[in-house]
């Protein structure tokens, strides 16, 4: 009888320690999760800023001015556009 | 003896005589103390537990607000038009503010504002806190943080940026400092864009880490994103060409609307004058008005295709029916006159040469009720239904009140008014074989829309064929041609109403057209307000803007040319491009 009690007491102590351990682990993970969430939010904000930067660089007005002034592009005049018409026999094959 | 004495001694010890009151006092004190301690413990643990628990929680538990930010607005291909990103802003709490004169001078320098003005701003009394500068640049933020002035602090806020700037300003609109939409889509979709802040209760440890979630009080809802129907490239073209035309013609203002004829989506909408939504300091309401949607004007000759459709529909005339068209024709007291008279014209030629007399003669063959019904069906006098804030419906009076003169003038576009968006939408009936699609500022899939039938397909095609002659030799819109494509459209030149009278020298030049005419994909409406650079006809002022925007947009959308071979034949005889000639592949 008393031996059983001792065994149960030991089991109880082990369980209690396991609970403490589990609790500690859960908190550690939780802290990690929170840290990652915060990081995700910061990355999200950074992504927004990069998108903003991208769209500022790719602004049509800017591209237009640069294309004309820096590399001297012009829209092709009509005489220089040649429209290829696909012959009927090929048209049948290509989708 | 010794025993005796020993005995007596022990006896003495045992028989120690204590007064009973002493026993009672000591016992009573001990028990009393115990009761006191137990009572206190019971009080703290049992009765006053809420208070203490609250104190404890206050140290470790926190309510955390979950920030959200306003959704993005982009064009149909995902190009950003509006985005919120966090910035630092400078706030002050006057009750704690301690600023030395030197610090104030330094702060004024950092913020680049006169010291006196800053001093006045900071001296503001009253409770609470206020924004000193919203927002500050990242460099300023670093400088201010380094100063470490008590009562001055930086706060993270989201600020709205508009990467497309003035190009899409009227459609996108803008928000105020508190992130509330003031104009355009920002205002129309405020509730969708804004999202909702959330709140959660958490437990913090000694180091400030969050260790446990207690309860989410409110879940956060991120602001929704919006994909507009705009095509930023076409929008830019429209903006650029309109701005150039306004400058060239020394005009007061103008608008361009580009519609997708198949889906009713608004691909571009530009106005002049316009504004930069990123710069909130120069707040002037005049350039912020979206003229294409809000301003109405008398459409002038652009209404004539509807007259033609009305008479064709009732079988009163055929496209080839010939009418006598003298230079002047009297209706009641009004003398209707043509600027470029031709004695006899077919219905098609009346549209091509924009004859007022011809249009009036056709309109007079209808009853006011019949004429009104066609205009009403086409959307005159009704809001165009784009969902844009402040949309105007124009004016179309009850036919019962029309006098014959008004009936006549309406045939060439006076006595009724429309917005450019409304008029361009009405032309969709001709472009889309009689069916008008509901307008939309939001991107949508073509299968989602159900159109509204305005004209029968045959009538719509006949009128479209007439409008194609407008851009051909002998028409009023020869400057609206787009190389390689067939274009249909109608010019309009209307005298402006100034103080209730038609001004002889102030005009509104307009052109509404569509291409490729064989199966129109795009409808573009252009209106130029008070051109004063010499030319004032719709065909010569608004027409070129149309042609430029249409040509570039058709190329942008890679639509195959539909003009007959003869028109494009010459392309084969041109010398090859220098680059291609240099390479002997």
ipTM: 0.77
Average pLDDT, chain A: 86
pLDDT of A5: 92
pLDDT of A27: 87
Same fold, B65-92+129-227 and B232-569: no
Separation CA B351–CA B304 (nearest Å): 7
CB contact under 8 A, A59 and B163: yes
CB contact under 8 A, A80 and B163: no
CB contact under 8 A, A78 and B483: yes
Contact between B308 and B362 (Cβ < 8 Å): yes
Assess B483–A contact: CB distance below 8 Å, yes or no. Answer: yes
Contacts by B147-150 with C-beta closer than 8 Å and gap 24+?
A: B147/B103, B147/B106, B147/B107, B149/B97, B149/B98, B149/B99, B149/B103, B149/B107, B150/B96, B150/B97, B150/B98
Separation CA B162–CA B85 (nearest Å): 11
- Where do runs of H (alpha helix) occur along B324-456? 347-352, 356-364, 368-377, 404-411, 420-431
With the C-alpha atoms ordered A36, A37, A42, A43, is the resulting torsion angle positive or negative? positive
Pick from B69, B72, B79, B566 the residue to mutate for testing the A interface (most A CBs within 10 Å): B79
CB contact under 8 A, A48 and B233: no
Q: Which residues of B touch A30 (CB under 8 A)?
A: 210-213
Assess A67–B contact: CB distance below 8 Å, yes or no. Answer: no
Q: Which of these is catalytic: B74, B301, B355, B553?
A: B301
CB contact under 8 A, A34 and B233: no
Q: CA of B361 to nearest chain A CA: how many angstroms apart?
A: 41
Assess A52–B contact: CB distance below 8 Å, yes or no. Answer: yes
pLDDT, tens digit, 9 for 90 and up, residues A5-17: 999 999 999 999 9
Residue B406 in tokens: 């008004």
Assess A64–B contact: CB distance below 8 Å, yes or no. Answer: yes
Assess whether B301 carries a catalytic annotation.
Answer: yes
Find, among B169, B172, B191, B171, the residue nearest to B180 by Cα: B191
Question: What residues 35-94 of chain B have any CB closer than 8 A to a CB of chain A?
Answer: 72, 79-80, 83-86
pLDDT of B222: 83
Q: Which residues of A touch B571 (CB under 8 A)?
A: 78-79, 81-83
Q: Torsion-angle region of residue B508: left (phi > 0), alpha (psi -120 to 50) or beta?
A: beta
A81 to chain B: closest CA residue: B571
Separation CA B74–CA B42 (nearest Å): 64
Q: Which residues of B touch A54 (CB under 8 A)?
A: 80
Neighbours of B146 (CB within 10 A): 8
Contact between B427 and B379 (Cβ < 8 Å): no
- Least CB-CB distance to A83: which of B210, B568, B574? B568
Q: For residue A47, is pLDDT > 80?
A: yes
Assess A45–B contact: CB distance below 8 Å, yes or no. Answer: yes
Q: Count residue pairs from A and B with Cβ separation < 8 A.
A: 72
Contact between B72 and B225 (Cβ < 8 Å): yes
Element containing residue B547 per DSSP (H, E) = helix B538-556
pLDDT of B550: 94
Average pLDDT score over residue span A14-23:
96
pLDDT of B347: 92
Phi, psi dihedrals of residue B426, rounded to the nearest 5°: -60, -35
pLDDT along chain B (585 residues), means of 10: 51 67 91 94 84 80 80 91 86 77 81 80 70 76 80 82 90 87 91 85 78 77 89 94 94 94 93 87 81 92 94 91 88 85 90 92 92 94 89 91 90 92 95 92 80 92 93 88 91 87 88 93 94 87 94 90 60 42 35
Q: CA of A81 to nearest chain B CA: how many angstroms apart?
A: 7
The fourth-level CATH superfamily of domain B65-92+129-227 is Penicillin-binding protein 2a (Domain 2) (3.90.1310.10)
Question: What residues 159-178 of chain B have any CB closer than 8 A to a CB of chain A?
Answer: 161, 163-165, 167
The owner of tokens 């034949």 is B569
Length of chain A: 95
Q: Which residues of B touch A60 (CB under 8 A)?
A: 164, 167, 232-233, 235-236
State the pLDDT confidence band at A93, using cuts at 50, 70 and 90: low
Separation CA B307–CA B302 (nearest Å): 10
CATH annotation of B232-569: 3.40.710.10
Find, among B351, B337, B365, B373, the residue nearest to B304 by Cα: B351
Question: Residues near B548 by Cβ (< 8 Å), separated by ≥ 6?
Answer: B237, B241
Pick from B73, B85, B212, B270 the residue to mutate for testing the A interface (most A CBs within 10 Å): B85
pLDDT of B544: 93
Segments making up each domain of chain B, as ranges: 65-92+129-227, 232-569
pLDDT of B136: 77
CB contact under 8 A, A51 and B83: yes
pLDDT of B575: 43
- Least CB-CB distance to B85: which of A48, A78, A80? A48
pLDDT of B36: 95
pLDDT of A16: 96
Assess A82–B contact: CB distance below 8 Å, yes or no. Answer: yes
pLDDT of B369: 93
């Amino acid at each position: 009888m008393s031996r059983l009690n001792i065994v149960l007491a030991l089991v109880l102590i082990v369980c209690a320690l396991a609970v403490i351990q589990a609790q500690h682990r859960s908190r550690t993970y939780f802290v990690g999760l929170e840290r990652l969430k915060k990081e995700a939010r910061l990355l999200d904000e950074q992504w927004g800023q990069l998108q903003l930067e991208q769209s500022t660089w790719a602004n049509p007005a800017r591209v237009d001015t640069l294309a004309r002034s820096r590399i001297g592009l012009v829209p092709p005049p009509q005489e220089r556009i040649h429209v290829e018409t696909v012959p009927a026999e090929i048209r049948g094959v290509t989708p | 003896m010794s025993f005796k004495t020993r005995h007596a001694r022990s006896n003495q010890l045992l028989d120690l005589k204590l007064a009973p009151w002493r026993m009672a006092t000591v016992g009573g004190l001990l028990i009393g103390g115990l009761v006191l301690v137990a009572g206190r413990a019971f009080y703290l643990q049992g009765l006053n537990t809420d208070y203490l628990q609250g104190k404890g929680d206050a140290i470790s538990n926190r309510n955390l607000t979950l920030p959200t930010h306003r959704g993005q607005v982009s064009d149909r291909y995902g190009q950003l038009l509006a985005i919120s990103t966090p910035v630092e802003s400078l706030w002050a709490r006057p009750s704690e503010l301690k600023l030395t004169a030197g610090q104030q001078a330094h702060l004024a320098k950092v913020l680049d504002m006169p010291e006196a003005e800053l001093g006045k701003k900071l001296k503001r009394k009253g409770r609470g806190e206020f924004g000193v500068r919203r927002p500050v640049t990242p460099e300023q933020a670093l400088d201010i943080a380094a100063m470490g002035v008590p009562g001055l602090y930086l706060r993270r806020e989201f600020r709205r940026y508009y990467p497309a700037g003035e190009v899409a300003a009227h459609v996108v609109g803008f928000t105020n400092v508190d992130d509330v939409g003031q104009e355009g889509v920002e205002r129309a979709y405020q509730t969708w864009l804004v999202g909702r802040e959330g709140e959660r209760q958490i437990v913090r440890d000694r180091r400030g880490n969050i260790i446990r979630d207690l309860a989410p009080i409110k879940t956060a809802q991120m602001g929704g994103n919006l994909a507009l129907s705009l095509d930023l490239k076409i929008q830019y073209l429209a903006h650029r060409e309109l701005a150039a035309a306004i400058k060239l013609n020394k005009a007061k203002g103008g608008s361009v609307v580009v519609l997708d004829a198949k889906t009713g989506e608004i691909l571009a909408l530009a106005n002049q004058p316009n504004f930069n939504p990123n710069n909130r300091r120069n707040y002037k309401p005049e350039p912020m008005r979206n003229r294409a949607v809000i301003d109405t004007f008398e459409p002038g000759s652009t209404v004539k295709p509807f007259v033609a459709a009305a008479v064709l529909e009732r079988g009163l005339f055929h496209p080839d029916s010939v009418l006598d068209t003298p230079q002047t024709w009297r209706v009641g007291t009004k003398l209707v006159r043509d600027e470029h008279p031709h004695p006899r014209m077919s219905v098609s030629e009346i549209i091509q040469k924009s004859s007022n007399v011809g249009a009036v003669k056709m309109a007079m063959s209808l009853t006011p009720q019949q004429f009104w019904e066609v205009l009403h069906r086409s959307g005159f006098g009704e809001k165009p239904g784009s969902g844009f804030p402040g949309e105007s419906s124009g004016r179309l009076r009850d036919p019962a009140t029309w006098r014959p003169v008004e009936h006549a003038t309406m045939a060439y576009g006076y006595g009724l008014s429309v917005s450019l968006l409304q008029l361009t939408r009405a032309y969709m009936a001709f472009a889309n074989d009689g069916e008008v699609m509901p307008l939309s500022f939001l991107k949508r899939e073509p299968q989602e829309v159900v159109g509204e039938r305005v004209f029968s397909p045959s009538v719509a095609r006949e009128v479209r064929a007439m409008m194609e002659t407008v851009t051909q030799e002998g028409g009023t819109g020869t400057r609206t041609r787009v190389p390689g494509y067939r274009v249909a459209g109608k010019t309009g030149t209307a005298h402006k109403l100034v103080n209730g009278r038609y001004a002889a020298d102030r005009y509104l030049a307009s052109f509404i057209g569509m291409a490729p005419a064989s199966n129109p994909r795009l409808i573009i409406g252009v209106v130029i307000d008070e051109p004063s650079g010499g030319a004032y006809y719709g065909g010569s002022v608004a027409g070129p803007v149309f042609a430029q925007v249409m040509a570039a947009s058709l190329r942008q959308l890679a639509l195959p040319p539909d003009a007959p071979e003869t028109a494009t034949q010459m392309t084969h005889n041109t010398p090859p491009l220098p680059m291609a000639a240099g390479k002997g592949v």
